[in-house]
């Protein structure tokens, strides 16, 4: 896996037709870029999106998946279904999943273990709320979320793991942490991985920053020590803006 990664999280935006148009636009723009470029549309678009990108330098992903193999889980999608549909990536533990749908660290851990079994590249999202930030709990929260999500994960499975640091208060708000705050969070995440695994694993892990990244602030964020790329929501919906963001990280 490329150490650098820039991943678009469409959330509940864009129809199948719109995703195809988007990808046709994006494919020539990212040709030859030395980075993992991911596009993560809604479940119903994954299959056609995967067919549209074929041999292009873009991996398609899903925004969530169920931790069970199959069964009576109305409305849910399994890891095997994602792989069969052509997904290569899955986003797990996004703060919107945690906050709106009540996903716990334990469930996220189960999902991660399942995704790793089928070789999906898992983008594990962690991040503190504003209240946690204001009460100096950021380090503790990141360490706890990581440790619980990574339970029973082996070091050799890190080849398929990406960590996304996304402060809850920065998502969709236009608020971005200071360079120092992002740098500190990256260091915290690496030190937790080092404690749980090894220095080598910590150094080799791709860690993204996400939360209000746009075409204007991307190059500054790309320069922060420890940041290997970005998970982009709102600004990724436009191919022009997303390409500018990609180019800020891949020079």
| Min CB(119)–ligand PGA separation in Å | 23
Span interacting with ligand PGA, options 44-52, 97-105, 196-204, 233-241, rule CB under 6 A = 233-241
- Residue 212 touching ligand PGA (CB under 6 A): yes
Tell me 156's DSSP state: G
Residues 179/217, Cβ–Cβ less than 8 Å: no
> Among residues 99 and 203, whose Cβ is nearest to ligand PGA?
99
> Under the criterion CB under 6 A, does residue 231 sit at the interface with ligand PGA?
yes
> Under rule CB under 6 A, which residues in 129-168 are in contact with ligand PGA?
166
Dist. CA 104–CA 118, nearest whole Å: 22
Of 194 and 238, nearer to ligand PGA (C-beta) is 238
Clarify whether 94 is annotated catalytic: yes
- Rounded-to-integer distance, Cα 178 and Cα 183, Å: 9
Query: At 154, is the secondary structure helix, strand, or coil?
Result: coil
Query: In whole angstroms, what is the distance from residue 86 CA to residue 48 CA?
Result: 9
Question: Of residues 15, 51, 69, 172, which one binds ligand PGA by CB under 6 A?
Answer: 172
Of the candidate residues 65, 146, 232, 245, the single one contacting ligand PGA (CB under 6 A): 232
Gap between the Cα atoms of 160 and 198, Å rounded? 16
SS3 178: coil
Residues in the site for ligand PGA, rule: CB under 6 A?
A: 9, 166, 171-172, 210-213, 231-235
């Amino acid at each position: 896996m490329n150490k650098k990664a820039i991943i678009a999280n469409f959330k509940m935006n864009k129809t199948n037709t719109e995703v195809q148009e988007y990808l046709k636009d994006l494919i020539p723009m990212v040709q030859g870029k030395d980075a993992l470029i991911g596009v993560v549309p809604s479940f119903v678009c994954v299959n056609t999106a995967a067919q549209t990108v074929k041999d292009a330098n873009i991996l398609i992903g899903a925004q969530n998946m169920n931790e069970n193999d199959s069964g009576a889980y109305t409305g849910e999608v399994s890891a095997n279904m994602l792989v069969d549909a052509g997904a290569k990536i899955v986003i797990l533990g996004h703060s919107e999943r945690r906050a709106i749908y009540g996903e716990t660290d334990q469930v996220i851990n189960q999902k991660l273990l399942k995704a790793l079994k089928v070789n999906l590249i898992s983008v594990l999202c962690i991040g503190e709320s504003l209240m946690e930030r204001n009460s100096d709990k950021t380090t503790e929260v990141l360490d706890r979320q990581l440790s619980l999500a990574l339970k029973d994960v082996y070091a050799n499975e890190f080849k398929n793991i990406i960590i996304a640091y996304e402060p809850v208060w920065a998502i969709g708000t236009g608020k971005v942490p200071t360079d120092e705050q992002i740098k500190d969070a990256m260091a915290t995440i690496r030190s937790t991985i080092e404690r749980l695994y090894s220095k080598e694993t910590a150094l080799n892990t791709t860690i993204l920053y996400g939360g209000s990244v746009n075409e204007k602030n991307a190059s500054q964020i790309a320069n922060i020590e420890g940041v290997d790329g970005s998970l982009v929501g709102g600004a990724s919906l436009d191919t022009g803006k997303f390409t500018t963001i990609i180019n800020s990280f891949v020079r």
